[in-house]
């Protein structure tokens, strides 16, 4: 699947549309560019590091292609940043992870969370007309590629679980749980740093909070946002072979939040 659905687009030949002054201002003030560039850089390193640790040649080249695509995302962003004069913070050094599988789990799950929300925010940006369609369309291959990445990750997880014995499986599940604790710690830590100084980490914290307001002039509540994210998640994943495993954790959590929200007084709003 991963090889068959490869998209050969080239960032260097993207024609960046010219923007009106207010559109340019909106784009420059989106609080996501530093963290987007750094996330792609870290994802690339983490995937490449894990790929080189694998004996299975087919899986190694597949995950290496995923790493290569993360670098291409970074390339798209750096071309865009140059085209529109967006200033970026200095990138921190990227360090090779000590436990490659753990880093792969953290990156894969983080990408599953981020992509789920990105699908919804991207659709809002598109429908609101807040940004010119030509600019939004430029990012379509990147967003769909992330969908493909989280699909690969879900299937890698299923294969890994199926191919190890009971004791190694137990160890693996402990690692999965540790990855979730690590991700939760990272995100809570970042949330606490709000208002300290204007860094890339503050941007990340604010991303989902302000993201929806940043891409659409219409006020949108959590419930509606989650619904858009779920719809887009299903739509983007629908085109792939139905025999493949789908990412279930984040969409499941979103459905749970929506179901609990309905029970709350005034929750329907």
Residue partners of 203: CB distance under 8 A and separation at least 6: 31, 32, 33, 34, 35
Evaluate whether 250 touches 158 at the Cβ level (below 8 Å).
no
Q: Which helix (H) or strand (E) holds 241?
A: none
Q: Which of 50, 52, 44, 135 is nearest to 91 (CA)?
A: 44
Instruction: Determine phi and psi for 121, rounding to 5 degrees.
Output: -65, -35
- How many Cβ atoms sit within 10 Å of the Cβ of residue 85? 9
Q: Work out how close the CB of 75 gets to Fe ion at its nearest, in angstroms, rounded to a whole number.
A: 11
Evaluate whether 143 touches 122 at the Cβ level (below 8 Å).
yes
Tell me if 74 contacts Fe ion by CB under 5 A. Answer: no
Tell me if 70 contacts Fe ion by CB under 5 A. Answer: yes
Tell me if 73 contacts Fe ion by CB under 5 A. Answer: yes
- Interactions with Fe ion, residue window 28-57 (CB under 5 A): 40
The string of DSSP letters for 174-216 reads: HHHHHHHHHHHHHHHHHHHTTTT---HHHHHHHHHHHHHHHH-
> Is 114 or 123 the residue whose CB approaches Fe ion more closely?
114
Among the listed ranges 26-34, 55-63, 147-155, 253-261, the one in contact with Fe ion (CB under 5 A) is 147-155
Among 42, 100, 149, 236, binds Fe ion (CB under 5 A): 149
Q: Work out how close the CB of 108 gets to Fe ion at its nearest, in angstroms, rounded to a whole number.
A: 9
Q: Work out how close the CB of 42 gets to Fe ion at its nearest, in angstroms, rounded to a whole number.
A: 10
Tell me if 114 contacts Fe ion by CB under 5 A. Answer: no
Q: Work out how close the CB of 44 gets to Fe ion at its nearest, in angstroms, rounded to a whole number.
A: 8
Angstrom distance (rounded) from CA 81 to CA 112 = 25
Interface with Fe ion (CB under 5 A), residue total: 5
> Is 19 or 116 the residue whose CB approaches Fe ion more closely?
116
Q: Work out how close the CB of 267 gets to Fe ion at its nearest, in angstroms, rounded to a whole number.
A: 34
Among the listed ranges 72-80, 100-108, 160-168, 182-190, the one in contact with Fe ion (CB under 5 A) is 72-80
Q: Work out how close the CB of 244 gets to Fe ion at its nearest, in angstroms, rounded to a whole number.
A: 16
> Is 19 or 211 the residue whose CB approaches Fe ion more closely?
211
Q: What share of the chain is helix, strand, coil (3-state, %, to 5)?
A: 70, 0, 30
**List of residues contacting Fe ion (CB under 5 A):** 40, 70, 73, 146, 149
């Amino acid at each position: 699947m991963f090889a068959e659905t490869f998209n050969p687009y080239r960032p260097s030949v993207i024609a960046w549309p010219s923007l009106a002054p207010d559109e340019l201002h909106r784009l420059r003030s989106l609080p996501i560019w530093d963290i987007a560039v750094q996330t792609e850089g870290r994802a690339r390193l983490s995937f490449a590091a894990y790929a080189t640790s694998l004996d299975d040649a087919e899986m190694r080249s597949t995950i290496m292609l995923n790493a290569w695509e993360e670098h291409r995302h970074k390339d798209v962003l750096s071309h865009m940043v140059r085209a529109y004069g967006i200033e970026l913070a200095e990138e921190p050094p990227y360090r090779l992870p000590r436990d490659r599988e753990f880093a792969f789990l953290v990156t894969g799950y983080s990408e599953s969370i981020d992509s789920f929300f990105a699908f919804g925010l991207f659709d809002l940006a598109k429908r609101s007309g807040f940004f010119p369609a030509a600019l939004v369309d430029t990012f379509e291959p990147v967003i769909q590629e992330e969908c493909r990445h989280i699909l690969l990750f879900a299937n890698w997880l299923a294969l890994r679980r199926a191919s190890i014995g009971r004791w190694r499986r137990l160890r693996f599940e402990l690692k999965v749980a540790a990855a979730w604790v690590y991700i939760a710690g990272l995100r809570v830590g970042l949330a606490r740093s709000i208002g300290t100084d204007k860094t890339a980490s503050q941007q990340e914290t604010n991303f989902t909070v302000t993201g929806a307001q940043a891409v659409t002039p219409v006020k949108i509540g959590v419930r509606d946002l989650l619904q858009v994210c779920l719809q887009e998640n299903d739509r983007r994943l629908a085109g792939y072979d139905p025999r493949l495993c789908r990412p279930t954790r984040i969409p499941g959590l979103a459905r749970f939040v929506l179901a609990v929200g309905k029970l709350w007084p005034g929750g329907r709003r």
